[in-house]
Chain A
Amino acid sequence: MKAERPEAVPLAGGTDLMVELNFGRLRPPAIIDLTRAAELATHRQEDGHVFLGAGVTYAAIVNELPGFKPLVQASRSVGSPQIRHRGTVGGNLGTASPAGDALPVLAAYDAEVVLRSQARGERSMPWHAFLMGPKKTAIAPDELIVGARWARIRGPGSFSKIGTRNAMVIAVAGLSLVIDEDHRRVNVALGSVGPTIIRATPAEEQISSAMASSGAWQDPSTAVSEQVIDEFAELVASAARPLDDVRGTAAYRRHGCRVLARRSLAWALSERRLPTWL
């Protein structure tokens, strides 16, 4: 259908598109209802990889994927029960708002986005190649988002965000931190603090190598010094590229990243001592 009508707008949970329709800001020549494509609402794990269909709702993630804590935390923080019953990961990807809560998690997982068209079949690309800018993606007009795929990462992690309420909040700053025990890496991705999702690469390298030199990778009980944590939080904050807007100032957002970075690292380090993710 998308091949025949490339101008048709795909619709899944409607939490973005229906607002545009209701407010008369969008009058698409045609709409494709993706909720009829049952395949999109599936997820599976094979060969150490995870595939998450574009049509999987946030409620389904919370109920069905408890092993993916950062993703569950992000999903649980989306909107309200009503929104989580409809909103999908594919919607976060397609809308490509830097405030999409699932996106920092997919970035911290180093996920790739799977696209499909009738003419060229399936292709996938890293999340950072797909998310080109605010509300801008690398999708072709005849393509649909099939889902996201990533190599399963062994280790603790989290998603947290700052907003004015515990629900119904568009993040002022969001952060996902994932520890990859096998590759001895710490991945940190930021949302809502730049034109797109940002990986705090200098901070990742600093903490990963500090943990290597202190022996913390081999022995999770090894303390990570306050100074190292401060440096890490500072590097995360400086990776942000925030703007002043109605939801918060750039300075507040940067500070938020600093706080979220410290907390997420502390959670993950204490979880390493008590490996509940095993």
Chain B
Amino acid sequence: MRIEALFLLGVAAFFGLVGIIYWFWGYEQGGTVMLVGTTLLGFVPGAYYFWWSRRMRPRPEDRPDASIEEGSGIIGSFPSSSIWPFVLGMGLFLMVLSIVFGLWLIAPGIALVLSSLIGVTAESRRGGTV
């Protein structure tokens, strides 16, 4: 976890530095705001990971001498198949098209998005597949 944390903190450090130089050299607002945003993108998760990395034992994937057996056990839940990403994607597609081709398309779009939200929640609670 430590390398991951340092990687993200490195992003923050670099763009923090560049942001400071850029502001005091050019006084240009748009670019500075984006550089500050980029700094935060690295700092927020990086600081969280760093905080954790000092409080946890190295995971098997952090240790060069770990054996494959140490990684056994449940490592996550991976649904095999699910219709809901398709439904959600098509709902968003219709909502976007409604802006150009007529607002009536927004009704089926919202219906699909809502049904996919309900569907994916139910599916996750069942913990199963389609």
Chains A and B are bound partners: no
Name A's B-contacting residues (CB within 8 A).
none
Name B's A-contacting residues (CB within 8 A).
none
